[in-house]
Amino acid sequence: MQPPAQRPSSPADRTFLRDLAARIHAIEADGRRAGGADPGERARTGRLCGVSALGLEAGRLHEFCGAGAGSDWAPPLALAVHLARGSLGLGERGGDHAVWIGRRVWPYPAALAGADVRIARGAAGVEYGIELFDEDEEDALDGDALEGDARAADPLALFEHSLFVDARGTAGGANGSGELLWAADRALRCSKVGVVVLDGSRLPKSAMRRLQLAAEAGGALGIVLRPANEASQLSAAASRFSVERCSGLDGGVEAGWPARWSVTPLRRRSGGLVRFGASAAAEGFGAHGASLSSDSGADGGPSSGGPSNGDPSNGDARRA
Amino acid sequence: MARDTEHGSEEHGSGGARERYLVVVLAHFATDRVRRELARRERLERRERTERGGFGAAPSAPRSARASAIVLTARSGSTPTVAHRCARAAAAGVVAGSSLAQARGLLFGAPLHTQEHDPAGDLAALERLARAARRYSPRVAAFPPDALALEIKGSERLFGGEQALLEDALRWFARLAFDARAAVASTLGCAFAVARFAVDPGRGPERRGLRVREGRERDALERLPVAALRLPEDVLEGLFELGLATCGDVLRLPASRCRRDSGTSCSSASTRRSARGRRRSRACRTPSCRGANASSRDPSTTARCAGSSCANCWANSRRSLEERELGATKVVIELWPSDGPPTELARTTSRAGRDPAHLWSLVATEIERAPVGFGVEKLAVRAEGLERLLPRQLGASGADGAGPSEHDREYWALVDALRARLGERAAFACDAREDFRPECAFVPRRPELPPSGARVARRERPTRLHREPIAVDVEERDGRPVAFTLRGVRTELERTIGLERIVAPWWPGAPRPARALEGPERTYVRALDADGRWLWLCRRSAPDGEARASWFVHGEWC
């Protein structure tokens, strides 16, 4: 058998190539950890993206405490789908995957290919609602205002790049080695995974710390969905948000649809609470653009990266 | 005692250098399997009754699995037909293909157990039985649907000769409650034919064995019907039309005439091969790639030691794969503990590869958990599912690039690891199916397989769909739901919109819906309750025999 010609022949060549590959890999990982082009891309679409509006950083864990508890717990799946869609490298990176760990956080697959949520500023934080899905609006969405939107690129990308993991073991097992925790750790460390959404109910702080380290190593966005009654527990996540239902009959939604929720920031590990702009309440649901400010002193997040077009009405998240 | 054919007998094996095949035909394998399962359930129930009621508990009415006839059904159209029947039902005149009603009529008055036939379960059970039969030979093959073949050349000495091995095997199958018939011959075809057609089923379980002396295969086949040749149905019909009823008739026919008359060339040639032993039929447990197998005979007393031996074996296999430019998608590890049946551990990968670290990571945990008992006498590593794997340029991550999808190699390693630890079905992607019913619109898909391309319907669908719809009591006013009661709690509905009606598919073969939603028609409505929840309520129209419609919560926007 003739040895392949393209394979480096000497150990020195192999070492050199490995070093070179490691440097390229490090550059890619750094760019990714800094948020890459994702928020900017979304900003250019003319629609506010949840990742940038909430100041979420790749390579970190972010908690969302949904409504209810126990069997009545309703994890904020619509928001998770939206964030997953915004985190995938649908454009330039391509090939990234979303991993959904735990049965209770599996969205119905139609939601992965269906209508997106619309993010807007609310009185207390960010509001979002599921868009009405009809053909007329679809035609309108194809206009200039949404040029470059992810949906126009490939509405089925998230559906086709989602991996569902049935990890039944309790997250916080007696020795902290539950199957769910192991699966989440493994997925977060994979550099080809863009976002990991996991069932974080009863997850202790030590487990969260382990997952936080895994997210930093892999560079994936970690979204932990927890019941509302666990909002007071200690956690090592970078940020924590509370998601609550809004009444469907106020706010000028005469049709009774879309369903709406509000996202309130509870804490931010790297620098206190997120503050939203004072003019937030003036804009109604569905308006584009937000003026999100934070007293966080952390650098390197997607908010600090900002959009490159400089348009103040494009959903740019600035830090104070 | 197993008997010899009239064509001669041997006392000490076959003597020659040829293979000797033991073929075991399990004539009623499917029904025997069901009977075993019924007997097992009976034992469990009896034990539970005893534990619950103590020794003084009154015995319940006897319902012995042994006493009832068993008929397995298959559905053709709307009528269940008989797929398999036990010996008792066969004796009563029940034949495969007849309707279940006819079978009930023929077995009128006799206890009868019927259930749907499970071909996949039969196949898996036959494979398990084949693995267990390695007690007689290391080379065992399962021939679905109901036969096993063992190459016993050499191993018969461990049992005191071919005859003793044959009798022991028949006793073993009888203990397992299988109706077995066996034959030993120098060719696989002859052993099959004799076991299936020459053995007298009326004899006792241990006397249903025949041995054909080496070189006497033609004599053994002479009087057997042509159906023993395992030919396709159309060829058999052609032979019958020509008046060729036995294998001897075919053997006496010139090959050229047979080809011309029957329109096929396989009948005479097949007979000759069976008779003369020229054909080396499908070898039992043929390795998928000889060079990709490695084994170790070093005894291992602990699981860790066995793991180390496996790693060495795999290193040998990997070298062989590299030389052949092949990659494996399945790794099989066989352990032969000294005090138990052999154990087989298998792991599949998403992409073909030969990276030892990755493959070893998939089986390492299983090896450590393997029941090695007092030690492992022998172990072997097999690489299966081989695919072409050309060497490639070094990957960006610095590893040796050898895979068809180098770009996502890390992702596929993650998928393999998840499946290895959590189970084959624990990590999956989704595929769409063109079905209006929400619970039937998506099915799991193996991540390495591409999507089917079915259109994903973009409709208003909830973000969460309950696997089992939650039954609720709904109050209606003017045909619209105004409130519902769930677990005793009444909740007012503030708004209902988005009426959508779905009719059940009428065509045969459509997937079955959730049990609670079976019915001709259902209606969905999006409802906003007083807590601000948007629920997807489903109204199932009343099926035949029910007075009123039922309501369920099938999903939620959350």
Residue A138 CB burial class (10 angstroms; 0-12, 13-18, ≥19): middle
The answer to whether the CB atoms of A25 and B532 lie below 8 A apart is: no
Cβ atoms B407, B393 nearer than 8 A: no
Q: Are A120 and A127 in contact (CB under 8 A)?
A: yes
Element (H, E) at B64: none
Average pLDDT, chain B: 79
The residue of chain B with its CA nearest to that of A218 is: B410
Contacts of B141 (CB under 8 A, 6+ apart): B130, B148, B149, B150, B282, B283, B284, B285
Q: Give me the torsion for CA of B303, B307, B313, B317, rounded to 10°.
A: 130
When comparing pLDDT for A22 and A99, which is higher?
A: A99
In chain B, residues with a C-beta closer than 8 Å to the C-beta of A248 are 494-495, 528, 532, 534
- First-to-last alpha carbon distance for chain A, in angstroms, is 65
A182 to chain B, closest Cα gap in Å: 9
> What pLDDT sits at residue A143?
39
* Residue A150 pLDDT: 42
Q: Which of B391, B441, B557 is the closest to A259 by Cβ?
A: B557
Give the integer Cα–Cα distance in Å for B19 and B152.
7
Coil, helix or strand at residue B30: helix
Confidence of residue B301 (pLDDT cuts 50, 70, 90): low
Residue A268's pLDDT band, with cuts at 50, 70 and 90, is confident
- Specify whether the CB–CB gap between A295 and A270 falls below 8 A: no
| B122 vs A114, higher pLDDT | B122
Residue B290 above 60 pLDDT? no
* For residue A128, pLDDT beyond 70: yes
Mean pLDDT calculated for residue range B174-181 = 88
> Across the interface, do B464 and A76 touch by the CB < 8 Å criterion?
no
Q: Is the dihedral of CA B353, B359, B361, B365 positive or negative?
A: positive
**pTM for the complete prediction?**
0.59
Contact B427 A6 (CB under 8 A): no
Given this model, what pLDDT does residue A68 score?
77
Q: Among B63-77, B157-171, B264-278, B513-527, which is the least confidently predicted range?
A: B264-278
pLDDT at A54: 85
Q: How far is CA A144 from CA A47, A148, A311, B149, in A?
A: 12, 9, 16, 70
Q: What is the ipTM of this complex?
A: 0.71
For an interface test with B, the pick among A7, A128, A163 (most B C-beta atoms closer than 10 Å) comes out as: A163
* Interval B448-479: pLDDT, tens: 888 888 888 778 889 999 988 999 999 988 88
Backbone dihedral angles phi then psi of residue B289, each to the nearest 5 degrees: -155, 115
Lowest-confidence pick of A61-70, B144-153, B511-520:
B511-520
What is the least distance, in Å, from the CA of A319 to any CA of chain B?
30
Q: B200 pLDDT exceeds 50?
A: yes
Lowest mean pLDDT among B292-296, B485-489, B501-505, B531-535: B292-296
Q: A46: pLDDT confidence band, cut at 50, 70 and 90?
A: low
- B461 → closest Cβ in A1, A7, A108: A108
- Region B50-70: mean pLDDT is 60
B148 vs A91: which has the higher pLDDT: B148
Q: What are the chain B neighbours of A75 within 8 Å (beta carbons)?
A: 464, 558
The tens digit of pLDDT for each residue in B371-414 reads 777 777 777 888 888 888 776 554 444 444 444 445 578 888 89
